[in-house]
């Protein structure tokens, strides 16, 4: 038996789903992935910390990232390495680490200090769940006949405490809002040739809203994905309360107030329906601060690093992005942006993430193509 074919530590546990070692996934698709994302921010939106970690078993890569938005500066830490048997049980890449202290309950998130730069981003934060994890709808996308994305995800909300350091300043976290998302399956990784199906089925438009919201006594999750003509391919609005059955709040309709000349939201109203008496509900959204995932966090169409790409062994990188001039980062406008936001619902005030991306044609919004933006004020 070759050394690489030996059992791994996970094989000791009764967790197998297919007759394979836990070293392997049950698909040969190069785009197989398994990863997580955490959002942490204060009630005023002065700071927005986004971090995550992923493994790409059929590419032999693991990577992680953390970005901190403070003022007009986005501080980023990224790391990538070869995937090994040990890294499947130890979620750690370079200076970034996620420790599962109690599954679905408590996590320790750390970014080690940079010995050569005492002003660089570092943190040690406890993330604690306030509500049970909630399954999101099964997510699939096709290009022609080919299945290009199939993901299973759950989402959760909680609170955070600990410390982070940046620019010589130490910030204490007390009761910050925390959300997180876990997903796995198949999702496109850079480097694949699209071939005939990509040429004959070009993307016309994509419209996306993903909003996990934490209130004091309840958690609300809304997700909407639409094609160019407004056809809805993903749809859910679910309210979670401890000790109560989850409540489905109808077919969400999202009205977004964009900044003139852009597709960047400053506010929104999500129209929901309470099944008890068919009472209409309005989820108000006030954007506090924003972090484009194409800058620092490795999401497409980032031009300096993307998830799953091989950077060599032991690669890490730290950099800062100036966000004062959106025109300086044109690609960010064609990627998803995470907005820390204040939400209102039926007299309650909560906090969460309003994640939004709108590219290309979207008939319900009046966008005719990739160069369309919200009209300027008269």
Higher-confidence residue of 84 and 68: namely 68
Residue 150: which residues within 8 A CB-CB, separation 6 or more?
138, 139, 140, 185, 186
Side-chain-facing half-sphere of 328: CA atoms under 13 Å:
8
pLDDT tier at 314, thresholds 50, 70, 90: very high
Q: Specify whether the CB–CB gap between 358 and 206 falls below 8 A.
A: yes
Q: Residue 1: pLDDT above 50?
A: no
Q: 112: which 2 tokens?
A: 């080690």
Q: Specify whether the CB–CB gap between 287 and 266 falls below 8 A.
A: yes
Q: What is the mean pLDDT of residues 111-121?
A: 94
Q: Residue 34: pLDDT above 90?
A: yes
The predicted structure's pLDDT at residue 89: 81
Fold of 33-365: AttH-like fold (2.40.370)
The predicted structure's pLDDT at residue 5: 75
Q: 205: which 2 tokens?
A: 């438009």
Name which of 284, 264, 283 is nearest 339 in CA terms. Answer: 264
CA distance 52 to 35: 7
SS3 326: helix
Residue 229: cis peptide before it, omega within 30 degrees of 0: no
pLDDT tens for each residue of 35-51: 999 999 999 999 999 99
Q: Specify whether the CB–CB gap between 289 and 40 falls below 8 A.
A: no
Q: Specify whether the CB–CB gap between 305 and 323 falls below 8 A.
A: no
Q: Residue 3: pLDDT above 60?
A: no
| Cα 107 from chain centroid (whole Å) | 17
What percent of the chain clears pLDDT 70, i.e. is strictly above it?
98
pLDDT tier at 378, thresholds 50, 70, 90: low
pLDDT tier at 376, thresholds 50, 70, 90: confident
Q: Residue 348: pLDDT above 50?
A: yes
Domain range annotation of the chain: 33-365
Residue 188: which residues within 8 A CB-CB, separation 6 or more?
31, 148, 149
CA distance 172 to 124: 10
pLDDT tier at 9, thresholds 50, 70, 90: confident
Q: What is the mean pLDDT of residues 339-355?
A: 97
Name which of 119, 124, 67, 135 is nearest 98 in CA terms. Answer: 124
pLDDT tens for each residue of 359-371: 999 999 999 999 9
SS3 364: helix
The predicted structure's pLDDT at residue 198: 82
Pick the range with the lowest mean pLDDT from 89-98, 115-124, 139-148, 262-271: 139-148
CA distance 259 to 124: 35
- Listing DSSP states for 102-160 in one string gives ETTTEEEEEE--BTTBTTS-EEEEEEEESS--EEPPPEEEEETTEEEEEEEEEEEEEEE
The predicted structure's pLDDT at residue 6: 84
CA distance 97 to 79: 10
Q: What is the mean pLDDT of residues 318-345?
A: 95
Q: What is the mean pLDDT of the chain?
A: 94
Q: Residue 350: pLDDT above 80?
A: yes
CA distance 353 to 212: 6
Q: Residue 62: pLDDT above 90?
A: yes
Q: Specify whether the CB–CB gap between 51 and 64 falls below 8 A.
A: yes
The predicted structure's pLDDT at residue 4: 66
The predicted structure's pLDDT at residue 173: 96
Q: Tokens 């960010």 map to which residue? A: 332
For the chain, report the end-to-end CA distance as a whole number of angstroms.
73
Q: Tokens 């190069």 map to which residue? A: 30
Q: 84: which 2 tokens?
A: 């090994």
């Amino acid at each position: 038996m070759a050394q690489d074919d030996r059992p791994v530590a996970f094989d000791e546990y009764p967790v197998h789903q297919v007759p394979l070692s836990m070293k392997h996934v049950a698909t040969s698709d190069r785009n197989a992935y398994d990863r997580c994302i955490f959002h942490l921010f204060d009630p005023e939106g002065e700071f927005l910390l986004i971090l995550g970690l992923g493994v790409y078993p059929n590419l032999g890569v693991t990577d992680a990232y953390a970005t901190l938005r403070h003022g007009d500066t986005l501080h980023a830490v990224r790391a990538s390495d070869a995937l090994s048997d040990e890294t499947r049980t130890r979620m750690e890449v370079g200076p970034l680490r996620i420790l599962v202290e109690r599954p679905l309950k408590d996590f320790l998130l750390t970014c080690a200090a940079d010995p050569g730069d005492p002003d660089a981003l570092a943190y040690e934060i406890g993330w604690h769940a306030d509500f049970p994890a909630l399954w999101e709808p099964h997510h699939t996308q096709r290009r022609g006949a080919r299945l290009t994305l199939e993901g299973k995800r759950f989402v959760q909300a909680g609170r955070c405490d600990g410390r982070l350091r940046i620019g010589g300043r130490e910030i204490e976290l007390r009761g910050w809002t925390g959300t997180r998302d876990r997903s796995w399956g198949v999702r496109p990784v850079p480097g694949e040739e699209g071939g005939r199906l990509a040429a004959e089925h070009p993307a016309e438009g994509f419209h996306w809203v993903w909003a996990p919201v934490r209130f004091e006594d309840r958690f609300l999750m809304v997700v909407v994905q639409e094609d160019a003509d407004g056809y809805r391919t993903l749809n859910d609005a679910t309210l979670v309360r401890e000790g109560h059955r989850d409540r489905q709040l109808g077919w969400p309709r999202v009205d977004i107030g964009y900044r003139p000349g852009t597709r960047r939201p400053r506010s929104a109203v999500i129209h929901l329906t309470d099944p008890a008496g068919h009472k209409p509900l309005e989820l108000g959204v006030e954007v506090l601060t924003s972090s484009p995932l194409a800058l620092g966090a490795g999401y497409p169409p980032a031009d300096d690093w993307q998830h799953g790409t091989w950077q060599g062994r032991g690669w890490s990188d730290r950099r800062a992005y100036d966000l004062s001039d959106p025109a300086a980062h044109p690609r960010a406008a064609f990627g998803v942006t995470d907005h820390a936001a204040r939400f209102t619902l039926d007299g309650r005030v909560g906090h969460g993430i309003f994640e939004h991306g709108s590219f290309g044609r979207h008939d319900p919004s009046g966008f005719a193509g990739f160069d369309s933006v919200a009209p300027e004020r008269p």
